[in-house]
Structure 1
Amino acid sequence: MKYPQLASFPELLSQLSEFDAIIDVRSPSEFAEDHIPGAINCPVLDDQERIRVGTMYKQVNAFEAKKVGAALVAKNIASHLEQHFLDKPREWKPLIYCWRGGNRSGSMAHILAKIGWPVVQLDGGYKNYRQHVNTSLPELAKKVQWRVVCGTTGSGKSRLLGALTEIGAQVLDLEQLAEHRGSVLGYLPSQPQPTQKMFESRIWEVLSTFDFEQVVFVESESKKVGNLRVPDSIIEGMRASPCIALELVLEERVALLMEDYAHFVSDPAALNLQLDCLLSLHGKERIESWKNLALQAQMPTLVAQLLELHYDPAYRRSIDKNFTEMPGAVKLFQSGIQDADFTATANAILN
């Protein structure tokens, strides 16, 4: 077989695990926005170099731009060879792609193939992969037998999903994939959210591994998780599916949230900045009283009030409006908030 070989993403889908490396040669900013799951970034032009060459194309001419671009690409490929590939054996098989499967991936694929590696270049590049995700994600979502875990804020839905995963159940944890806890106070300070495209890639990757003869557990999310939009096909499927209602007493809900939101417990000023987002819903007087509770280290009282006056009413409105199967939900009372307690509930669900 002649290398480098060209292949489209749908053709390669069942063979991805056979590649020893998936190499994305686009610039770091392109890679950060989204990439094929498991890919590594070996840019043949970095962000500044790409701008430089692109500007020459527009302001000078294509010939001059190609000369400069070729020199940069050759230098960068040589660097990647020295840093990453010199120890690879003859049978090492990489998949290489860029934006459209053109010059950038072609240059890397040509050199690696000349060395003797069985290189495959992704025909159509990242654009081809992205089209596949956009097309197949709704198709995958329609095959899923959803079981929707419902419950008021602090009832431990995310912990239950984690426990279900640990005992081998199929779980789509949208908040984990979105790196956000789904509420107005749900951002994680040390974890910026992925881009919308990356979020969709992560969902596609998880759904692609599922056995559609088995049920999939998911949390009763709204249409957005932080700044990210849950794909319509998933929302529509969830909202028409059987529900599991998880219940936990108020005191333990408060204790659970104090653990999960420890970054706010230790930083009342940061919490108070977020509370301003609720000003239009609760008015200045109530928000100020909540801020004072935070500053006075009365966090259990503040959390209880937030649950009773904000989160619980909002949850009930959302569930009543959006989840048509909730009236027939299986009700489960969660006893305790330790890992073993959630494992027991997860086993009860599966058994």
Structure 2
Amino acid sequence: MEIEAWQIYELEDRILVDIRSPEEFKDFHIPGAVNLPLFDDYEKRIIGLLYRERGLEEAKEAGYKIAGGKVGRFIERFEQLRRQYKHVVVYCWRGGLRSKELCKVLKSYGIDVYRLIGGYRAYRNYILSDMGRILEDRSLLVLTGKTGVGKTKLIRRLKQEGFPAVDLEHLAQNRGSVFGKMGMDDKLISQKMFDALLYEELRSLQQKLLITEDESRCIGRVHLPQAFWDSKEKGTFVEITADLRTRVKNIIEEYTAKPGWEMQANLSLERIRKYLSTAQYKQAKELLKLGRVEELATLLMVEYYDKRYRLEKKPSYTIDCSDFEGCFEELKLLYLRLFNEGQTLQNCGKPFTPY
């Protein structure tokens, strides 16, 4: 049985099975999929080498030989999955030999599964196209403001309370600045994985008015898909402000949350050296060495971040976040008013209540 990418979302009680190598799966996969690799990383490299040096037939022969020794294990695992789920969908990179041959074998043992036509590549083409459709009838409430004012903190609190907030920094595992990886998970997110996570997030949110943070086109090593960027630029902007003391406190809490932040900070200082005077750079290095974090954060805020900050869009609203709880309540009320009264969208639907 074959299925196209858009049909995945019409299947209830389904599991996606990625049969690519663990290395490929780690780099990107359809969110929620499980990895049952037909070849491990070493085996895949060997087959690839044979293909390049000896041609397709020898590579196929080696592949069949390696996979043949795993048939029993695959039959057992897929029988388990068929008992657990109503629908099982198998995919590889392009919907080629790996998924075709495996599905043939499974069928010969009486195990019916779906094969994703075109594999992951078809899924990716679909989500990038469909993201534009999803965003056509949505509007974004965009939180903008200087570094450390608490934008990300607000986004995460809103999500906790059931508001339709999209945490781009969490999806990218980067804050989008030169110090962006400090205090975050070590894992690197590929562009394909970021796009897939963002799409699934948008698809899961039913409200017509979404909340997000004002990010640049690039967040670390990934960039925002064009459809999302265009939607953000047309959004309603809310400037979040805060006094310097509050901003420094927020930055220290976020950026020094994980062990090893000092090494990352040292590397980041090297990257911004050209934007600081010689005296400022030496002072920053000394403050880091002495562990005088508050003074270091203040120096970087005033001499680096604030001097490079540009408010690109004129905000429709401004909320001071020196008192976080008061700011959070004011932002919630603003969202509810915009949503329920239809000031951002016409025909927003019935009154919004958090999940």
Does TM, scored on the shorter chain, surpass 0.5? yes
Matched, 1:331 2:327: no
Q: 1:101 to 1:334 in 2, by over 3 A?
A: same
Q: Distance in 1 between matches of 2:58 and 2:218?
A: 47
TM normalised by structure 1 equals: 0.86
Distance 1:309 1:193 in 2: 29
Q: Secondary structure at the match of 2:61?
A: helix
Q: 1:229 aligns with which of 223, 230, 247?
A: 223
- Separation (CA, whole Å) in 2 of partners of 1:59 and 1:186: 42
Match of 1:298 among 292, 296, 299: 292
- The 10-residue stretch of structure 1 (135-144 or 251-260) with the greater mean CA deviation from structure 2: 135-144
1:272 corresponds to 2:266: yes
Partners of 2:180 and 2:220 within 8 A in 1: yes
Matches within 5 A, 1:96-111: 96-111=90-105
Describe how 1:182-193 pairs up with structure 2 within 5 A: 182-188=176-182, 190-193=185-188
Tell me the distance in 1 between the aligned counterparts of 2:263 and 2:85.
Answer: 57
Q: How has the CA–CA distance of structure 1 residues 61 and 192 changed in structure 2, closer, same or farther, with 3 Å as cutoff? A: closer
**Cα 1:298–1:108, aligned 2, differ >3 Å: closer, same or farther?**
same
Q: Partner amino acid for 1:12?
A: I
User: What are the residue-to-residue correspondences of 1:112-191 with 2, within 5 Å?
Assistant: 112-188=106-182, 190-191=185-186
Give the paired residue count: 335
Shift in alpha-carbon separation, 1:264–1:11, aligned structure 2, 3 A: closer
CA shift, 1:264, in A, is: 7.7
Whether the 8 Å CA contact 2:145–2:151 is kept in 1: the answer is yes
Per-residue displacement from partner, 1:38-72 (whole Å, max 9, x unpaired)? 11111112232223223334444544433321121
In the alignment, which of 326, 332, 343 is matched to residue 347 of structure 1? 332
Shift of 1:342: 6.2
1:99 aligned counterpart, secondary structure? coil
* Pairwise CA distance, 1:224: 0.9
Tell me, what secondary structure is at the counterpart of 1:121? strand
Corresponding position: 1:18 with 2:28: no
1:312 equivalenced with 2:313 (yes/no): no
**Which residues of 2 match residues 63-102 of structure 1 at below 5 A?**
63-82=57-76, 85-86=79-80, 89=83, 92-102=86-96
SS in 1 for 2:24: helix
Are residues 1:286 and 2:280 paired? Answer: yes
Change (3 A) 1:285 1:206: same
1:267 deviation in Å? Answer: 5.0
Assess if the C-alpha contact under 8 Å between 1:294 and 1:302 holds in 2.
Answer: yes
* CA distance in structure 2 between the aligned counterparts of 1:78 and 1:303, rounded to whole angstroms: 58
Taking the aligned partners of 1:260 and 1:63, their CA distance within structure 2 comes to: 54
Q: Distance in 1 between matches of 2:85 and 2:285?
A: 63
- Residues 134/272 of structure 1: CA separation in 2 closer, same or farther (3 Å cut): same
SS of equivalent to 1:89:
helix
- C-alpha change, 1:61 and 1:311, in structure 2 (3 Å) is closer
**In structure 2, C-alpha distance between the alignment counterparts of 1:102 and 1:267, rounded to whole Å:** 44
Matched-pair contact (CA < 8 Å) for 1:293–1:301:
yes
TM-score, normalization by structure 2: 0.85
Q: Which runs of 5+ in 2 are unaligned?
A: 337-355
Q: Map 1:20-39 onto structure 2 (within 5 A).
A: 21-39=15-33
Give the gaps of 5 or more residues in structure 1: none
Distance verdict in 2 for CA 1:303–1:59, change over 3 Å = closer
